[in-house]
Amino acid sequence: MNETNTTEVLIDGKIYTVSGAEDSYMQQVAAFINKKLEEVRKIPGYSRLDSEYKRLLLNLNLADEYFRSELELKKLVKEKAESEKDLYSLKHDLISTQMKLDAALKQQKSIEKSYGELKAKYEEFTREKDR
């Protein structure tokens, strides 16, 4: 069960008491809001807007950030899935290549054994011929 903590955060020069699971997280949220406020205040003509329109502008900027983050997340999830698919394919290729290598090494040993047997027979044959 999550315990709710109460903490004070500074937003737009005012102290607010908020509740959340983690104090540091709430501080990060407040810092993010302050950053967004700073950004919208740089918009030409912002200071002449009424407070309702200023809140709307802030909310639009926050929503924009949210939707851009959501799109980025979807993109990253898709890239991850493609990377996992590529990784699976590479693992399959690696296993297939390892099996081919094992078969080739086994065949090489067999050929080396046959070569050794033939060489021994040849040497025996040449010794008997020379007698």
b or e along 38-57 (b: 16 or more beta carbons within 10 Å of the residue's beta carbon)? Answer: eebeeeeeeeeeeeeebeeb
Q: What is the pLDDT of residues 10-56, one digit of tens each?
A: 998 999 999 887 888 899 999 999 999 999 999 999 999 999 999 99
Instruction: Give mean pLDDT, residues 57-71.
Output: 96
- Does residue 116 have a pLDDT over 60? yes
Q: Where are the domains of the chain?
A: 1-42, 47-131
pTM over 0.95: no
The H-or-E segment that residue 9 falls in is strand 5-11
Over residues 86-91, mean pLDDT: 97
* Whether 22 contacts 5, CB under 8 Å: yes
Answer whether 21's CB lies under 8 Å from 10's CB.
no
Residue 131 predicted with pLDDT over 80: no
What is the C-alpha R_g of the chain? 36
Q: Identify the pLDDT of residue 2.
A: 64
Q: Find out whether 7 and 26 touch, Cβ atoms under 8 Å.
A: yes
CA 83/CA 51 separation, integer angstroms: 47
